[in-house]
Structure 1
Amino acid sequence: MRQIKGLIMGLSAVLLLGACGTTDTGTEENGDEEIDELVLGYFPSADVENMAASARPLEEYLSEQLDIEVTGQVMTDYTGLIEAMRNQNADVAFLPPFAYVQAEERANVEVLLKAIRDGSESYVAQYNVAADSEFDSIDDLVEAEGLVWAFTDYTSTSGYLFPAQQLMDLGIEDLDSQFTMIDVGAHDSALLSVLDGQADFATTFEDARVRLEDEIPDIYEQIRVIGTTEEIPNATLSVRSELPEELKERIAEAFLNMNDDPEMLEVLKDVYNWEGFAPAQSSDYDVVRDVYSQFEELIEE
Structure 2
Amino acid sequence: MKKLKGLFIGLSAGLLMTACGTETADTDTESDGVEEVEELVLGYFPSADVANMAESARPLEEYLSDQLGIPVTGEVMTDYTGLIEAMRNKNADVAFLPPFAYVQAEERANAEVLLKAIRDGSDSYVAQYNVAADSDIDSIDDLIESEGLVWAFTDYTSTSGYLFPAQQMMDLGVDDLDTHFTQIDVGAHDTALLSVLDGQADFATTFEDARVRLEDEIPDIFEQIRVIGTTEEIPNATLSVRSDLSEDLKERIENAFLNMNDDPDMLEVLADVYNWEGFAPAESEDYDVVRDVYSQFEDLIEE
TM-score by length of 1: 0.95
Q: Aligned letter for 1:28?
A: T
Where in structure 1 are there 5+ consecutive unaligned residues?
none
Say yes or no: does 1:170 pair with 2:172. Answer: yes
Residue-pair matches, total: 293
**1:45 aligned residue (19, 44, 47):** 47
Alignment of 1:111-150 (within 5 A): 111-150=113-152
* Counterpart residue number, 1:284: 286
- Give the conservation status (yes or no) of the 8 Å contact 2:8–2:76: no
Q: Judging changes above 3 Å, is the alpha-carbon distance between structure 1 residues 275 and 20 closer, same or farther for their aligned structure 2 residues? A: closer
C-alpha offsets along residues 92-130 of structure 1, whole Å, 9 cap, x if unaligned? 000000000000000110000000000000000000000
TM-score by length of 2: 0.94
Identical-pair percentage: 81
1:23, distance to aligned residue in structure 2 (A): 1.9
CA distance in 1, matches of 2:162, 2:19: 33
- Give the conservation status (yes or no) of the 8 Å contact 1:259–1:277: yes
- Give the conservation status (yes or no) of the 8 Å contact 1:15–1:83: no
Of 229-238 and 23-32, the range deviating more from structure 2: 23-32
1:299, distance to aligned residue in structure 2 (A): 1.3
3-state SS of 2:66 partner: helix
CA distance in 2, matches of 1:295, 1:46: 25
Q: Judging changes above 3 Å, is the alpha-carbon distance between structure 1 residues 143 and 186 closer, same or farther for their aligned structure 2 residues? A: same
Q: Aligned letter for 1:152?
A: T
- Give the conservation status (yes or no) of the 8 Å contact 1:19–1:84: no
Q: Aligned letter for 2:92?
A: A
3-state SS of 1:173 partner: coil
* Counterpart residue number, 2:94: 92
CA distance in 2, matches of 1:47, 1:15: 13
- Give the conservation status (yes or no) of the 8 Å contact 1:101–1:285: yes
* Counterpart residue number, 1:214: 216
CA RMSD, 1 decimal: 1.6
CA distance in 2, matches of 1:15, 1:211: 22
* Counterpart residue number, 2:300: 298
* Counterpart residue number, 1:21: 16
Say yes or no: does 1:241 pair with 2:224. Answer: no
CA distance in 2, matches of 1:279, 1:61: 20
* Counterpart residue number, 2:274: 272
C-alpha offsets along residues 244-263 of structure 1, whole Å, 9 cap, x if unaligned? 00110010000000000000
Where in structure 2 are there 5+ consecutive unaligned residues?
21-26
CA distance in 2, matches of 1:22, 1:173: 46
Deviant stretches of 4+, over 2 Å:
18-22, 29-34
* Counterpart residue number, 2:256: 254
Q: Judging changes above 3 Å, is the alpha-carbon distance between structure 1 residues 20 and 102 closer, same or farther for their aligned structure 2 residues? A: farther
Structure with more helix by fraction: 1
**2:77 aligned residue (64, 75, 78):** 75
